[in-house]
Amino acid sequence: MPAQKIRCVGAIVTDGSGRLLLVRRGHAPEAGRWSLPGGRVEPGESDSQAVVREVHEETGLWVEPGALVGAVERPGPGGAVFDIYDYAASVSGGLLLPGDDAADVRWVHPRDLDQLTLTSGLARTLAGWGVLG
């Protein structure tokens, strides 16, 4: 029987200084590690709607989703697979404040990513997609 796939989205949000918006995960998987804001796509929700909702829930910011940057699969609970689609996004409003399942949120320059404990494969994936400059 094939593994259950759970569709998820992530947001690659950068500011005018080239910094990347990251959240520190408050819950498993990989609690305490830094990642892109994002999460599961709810039933009846488009990827774009999920990006807007998840970024706002986790960071307090409103975003305009853009193009699909790439997709990855990561192990999920009970043998399930998180099927994650990461989209470029730009801030359209809101106030930066950790919320929902984010323990912290901050803007990080790509040159400083090695100072943070990132989720598995994140730096390699972003570098492969050309996101880190």
Q: What is the mean pLDDT of each run of 10 residues along the chain (133 residues)?
A: 89 95 90 95 98 97 98 90 96 93 94 94 94 85
The reported pLDDT for the residue numbered 30 is: 87
Pick from 16, 21, 18: nearest CA to 55? 21
Fold of 5-128: Nucleoside Triphosphate Pyrophosphohydrolase (3.90.79)
Sequence ranges of the domains in the chain: 5-128
119 and 25 Cβ atoms separated by less than 8 Å: yes
Task: Tell me the CA distances in angstroms from 112 to 44, 72, 76, 118, one per residue in order.
Answer: 38, 23, 28, 11
Q: How far apart are CA 123 and CA 113, in angstroms?
A: 8
The reported pLDDT for the residue numbered 1 is: 65
